[in-house]
Amino acid sequence: MTATDAARSAPQPLQGLRVVEFTHMVMGPTCGMVLADLGAEVIKVEPIDGEATRRLLGAGTGFFPMFNRNKKSIGIDLRKPEGAEVARRLAAGADVVAENFKPGALAKFGLDYASLSRLNERLIYVSHKGFLPGPYEHRTALDEVVQMMGGLAYMTGRPGDPLRAGSSVNDIMGGLFGAIGAMGALIQRGITGKGMEVQSALFENNVFLMGQHMLQYAMTGRHPAPMPARESPWAIYDVFTVKDGEQIFLAAVSDGQFSTFCDVLGFDDLKADPALATNNDRVRARPTLMPLLRERLARHSAAELAALFEKAGLPFAPIRRPEDLYDDPHLNATGGLADIVLSDGEKAGQTVRTTLFPITLAGARLPVRMDPPRFGEHTLELLTGLGYAADEIEALRTSHAVA
């Protein structure tokens, strides 16, 4: 079976589940995407002029097509009473509602958990916030905000130069935790028959990431150094600049790997040196060992080193840019990329490739069943399903309560 065939036959464990999401940007849409990829019907409720994420430039250009596949779109103006009523009818009939607005923002439309759970006690309501309830809960949070205040920027940058990670790690992780909470709540609902509220938050996500470094401090009494200046637990675990200025990451994290490292590169003198006999010996010798290795490895090309390390089973990695991944032989051979048709921007209507959720079920990747939706693409279908007659739908459109 090819990767494509496997994707077509992938299980859909959440098939039959209806999710309504009032989300934007990355965090909430990630939760919806996970549930959609797993087979749920996910309905994206957008503002009457479409989610602003559709129109982002620069680093935000890929947000909407990345996190909104396998979803349906309806445009609703919640500020209009008849629009808010449509949203309430949609949400009341859902298994899961997901949102990522400021605390209290949806309550004025009767779309908070307290209001909706009175209509449907089986409802699972997933709130994605900047902070869990507490002193910070009313602060405005962004991924970069919590990376700065939560230690990640400190650990990523060089000393004195805090630097955010190069992807929306907390936004994405917040959506993943929201989806995990939703699935746990679904299992509990199967036992009790009742839903619950689930909360996920950016700051707490980030603190979870920092747990290993917090415990490092608790156990040693020493402040963890930022990653570029860290005290490495392994002697060889670095990016090396090699022939023609290319770069490659190379590692040897055990005594056996160091022995192999010396064998494949002909470093018999290093292998025989008693001062380098164990990993901890080599860690203590890094001030002299690393300059020597950098000098010797600079004579080799990155391709030559990659071939040697792959054949010997040693850890290595080329230094790639995001666009290089489109040509990655492993991703292409295993079906890790899938086609989508863009719904917005200058390239609307064009087919591009996106990344799939990084798991397999029964040996199959979870496929793209639906392209990222055009704004309001499913409004008529969804309103009809809610029992609205044709003249009522026309009236809603005429008043611009829906789009």
pLDDT in tens, 198-208: 999 999 999 99
Q: Where do you find CATH 3.30.1540.10 in the chain?
A: 232-322
**pLDDT, tens only, 81-96:** 999 999 999 999 999 9
**pLDDT, tens only, 309-352:** 999 999 999 999 999 999 999 999 999 999 999 999 999 999 99
Residue 124 has pLDDT above 70, yes or no: yes
Average of per-residue pLDDT across 211-238: 92
DSSP 224: P
Residue 2 has pLDDT above 70, yes or no: no
Residue 59 has pLDDT above 80, yes or no: yes
CA distance 32 to 128: 11
- Tell me which CATH code domain 3-210+336-398 carries: 3.40.50.10540
DSSP 402: B
The percent of residues above 70 in pLDDT, for the chain, comes to 98
262 phi, psi to nearest 5 deg? -65, -40
231 or 5, which is more confident?
231
- Crossing angle of the two packed helices 169-192 and 202-220, in degrees rounded to 10: 100
Rg (CA), the chain: 26
The overall average pLDDT reported for the chain is 95
**pLDDT, tens only, 377-398:** 999 999 999 999 999 999 999 9
Residues 6+ apart with CB under 8 A from 376: 46, 50, 73, 74, 75, 402, 403
Q: Where do you find CATH 3.40.50.10540 in the chain?
A: 3-210+336-398
pLDDT computed for residue 8 by the predictor = 59
Give whole-number Cα distances, 157 to 143, 151, 392, in Å. 16, 10, 57
CA distance 97 to 90: 10
pLDDT computed for residue 232 by the predictor = 83
pLDDT computed for residue 134 by the predictor = 96
- Tell me which CATH code domain 232-322 carries: 3.30.1540.10
CA distance 192 to 63: 37
Give whole-number Cα distances, 314 to 192, 253, 259, 329, 348, in Å. 51, 9, 11, 19, 44
CA distance 26 to 200: 13
Number of other residues whose CB lies within 10 A of the CB of residue 198: 23
pLDDT computed for residue 3 by the predictor = 43
**pLDDT, tens only, 143-190:** 999 999 999 999 999 999 999 999 999 999 999 999 999 999 999 999
